[in-house]
Structure 1
Amino acid sequence: MTRFSLIILISLLTHALTKAQEPFILKGTIDTAENAIYYFYYEVGDSGITDTVRLKKGGAFEILGHIEEPSRLFVSIEDKYNPRVVGDFIVYQGWIEPGKEHFFTGFKGWQKGWGNFEISDSKTDSLSREWSKLFKLDNKEESTRAQSRFIEEHLDSYYVLQVLYGKLRNDEDLPLVRDLLSRMPAHLQNTFKYKKCLDMLTVKDNISIGSVFPDFEQADTSSNMQRLSDIRKDKFILVDFWASWCGPCRAENPHLVKAYSRYRAKGFDIIGVSLDEDRDKWIQAIHDDKQVWHHVSDLKGFNNAVAKSLYIRSIPSNFLLDPAGKIIAKDIRGEELTRLLGEILN
């Protein structure tokens, strides 16, 4: 029995309660100093797993994990390089697959890009590299056609499922994505990612223009629970997703202050939903930016319950609601909010 077969057997016996998961081994070298510490992050369903690895002699490493379906792997180090990066600094990004023994070789010059490595026996990673090349074509129209051909030719692949997931997150051509998902084979329709896509489609339908925005409740800066439906009674209200650490969000705040001060007396209000984790920084930003409207947060960052339920993964993001709670505009920037409120309320 090979060493890898033995590991699989032991894993199957000791993980009987997680039969859907399969073991993988990732081992190899990273061309850097011995004893350097790296973080290997991958996802299992909605959960993220991070293995902290100290490189051995010659930059060698080895990790064992369990995943249900192909997963993106992020290899990172402590961030000492880019003050604009929140969290660790990602050096490599690739794909691992369940039931595989992958050999990984990371090269020097990782500033050249996240793909500066080799990984064995990963069809998903190979397809991701093919997909990336399509964006480097000189002719934009040819690039678009090539992307469409790629999706159609690999509609039976997990990587294309990931591509469609990304399009959903970015609100790109939802009817086309819906059609492509319906034509995917059964083995993909049974995956967690596919079910996530269907759920996201439902949510997107529920937060489209003309839909009633879902009600929610979170704690304010005094730890009192605030419900959207109580705040928005007989008002036009902007639901604004932001964070103290988000530069573009902070840049938008003067425009919100202007709109609020001009139209508050005419029935306009704002509720800010913060994706902060640090309570003190959240409250300080509210004070510094003179945001004298309603504020709530569960201080869980991008795991904020409201943002997560709506698949909001980038900020700033906002929704303008009428007094009945219907969405009349989304992602309003700059002076557009003041102009739009002028048309509605003047």
Structure 2
Amino acid sequence: MGRAGQVKALRAAQRAAAGSRAGQRAQTTNARRAVADARRNAKAQAGHSKLGKRAGLTGRLLGGAARKARAARDGAIAKQRAKRDTKNGRAVAAQRAQVRKAPARKAARKALRKSAARFHGRRLLAALLALPVGLLGCVSTWIGRKLNIPALMHPGRRLYRRMVQTAGEQRAERDETTRKTLYEQEAAADAEAEQDGTDGLGQQVERPAVDVPTCTIPEVSEGEHVSGFRFEEAAEEMEQAANSYEPENAMEILAMVEGLPAALTSVANVMKILAERSDNEFPLEKEVADGFNDIFGALMSAVAVAEDMGPLFRQAHEQDIARHEDPRNGHDAEKGWNV
């Protein structure tokens, strides 16, 4: 294999590992919508907390009106997204249809051009044959008029008209056959796409042609070590670390809050990797990979909320943070205001 072949093989492997275009498009759309919903819900929650501070009938009325407005807004957003998805689906389906029918249409255009060239060639041949007959018709036409014999009049013109008419009829038959063949090939391509075409991650699932014999899996004792990926153990360690977390000061909590988006992104990437491997490597069905994709979208929405935590923390504790970042006469002097 040459260098060009190696490059092609590498690109093919990268495309196969990335998943289908439909899956990538759906995953990107779901992630963006999840982020938008998370930010919208965070703003709504902040407004709800402000309204909750107002006591009495006015606060309840405003809260009810705000909930109705949010419900109407969410319904309009869902309706608009459905329309957009339908429009995008139609556009993708039309482009796929054009790609499927491109070879048949290319062959049909070539056949029609060939038929037109053959017709014009027959016209040229008819003109060349009718020219000497037309010169002879200069005499035969005069004789036919004198003797009242129509067969002797304009022989070249009649020969040219008959040959061109025959060539035109043959061209129309050829073009009709070509168009009929094109319609049949397009219908066959559409039928094949309906039978074999699947969207999403299911395009990547490969199954053997024959049944695979089942094997008995030995039971694993409770105390036996099992190698592999144990996500629950890592999550349990994080939970224990959160319970025993004792920060030295509030600035350490600020650093932890500002690092939350990167941490949650890493957790979301775990679900993304599991979705891709479930689609490409693991013997799992499409629903399992879709479930991992849903978890990935939910975690990305949490990342969007976590990105707003840092500015919110700094805004709420602006004066406290200023004392640490820009102390008056040094940290030792600033400690005199500690309570």
TM range (shorter): under 0.3
Structure number with the higher helix fraction is 2
Question: Which structure has the higher relative contact order (CA within 8 Å, separation 6+)?
Answer: 2
